[in-house]
Amino acid sequence: MNVLGPVDDIPLGEGRSYTVDGEMIAVFRLRDGSLRAVSAVCPHLGGPLADGQIDNRVVVCPLHLNAWDLTTGCSKSGQPPISVYPVREDHGRILLGE
């Protein structure tokens, strides 16, 4: 379990990247306030997924617009999957991990 910081660091509808145990993790705060965490490095050509546009289900990589489901990690456009991580809010903090 890692405390990444205050949930308010991430504006609603946006993502931020964090380095956790040497790995880049993108955490998104959906418009309903819920959190999603996925690997931050796009498996296509390494684009910054935390900077991608999101809706309530998918993130779209800003470089070539491939899309991934934020809950399953599955690609919507024929790319390899991305890793998804358990994440939740606790007393205004972002907790990553079980």
Cβ proximity to ligand FES: between 10 and 82 the closer is 82
Span of 4-12, 17-25, 63-71, 81-89 interacting with ligand FES by CB under 6 A: 63-71
What DSSP state is assigned to residue 69? E
| Smallest separation, CB 45 to ligand FES (Å) | 4
Span of 13-21, 23-31, 58-66, 90-98 interacting with ligand FES by CB under 6 A: 58-66
Token representation of residue 95: 């907790």
Sequential DSSP letters for 5-64: EEGGGS-TTEEEEEEETTEEEEEEE-TTS-EEEEESB-TTT--BGGGSEE-SSEEE-TTT
Binding to ligand FES (CB under 6 A): which residues in 13-52?
A: 42, 44-47
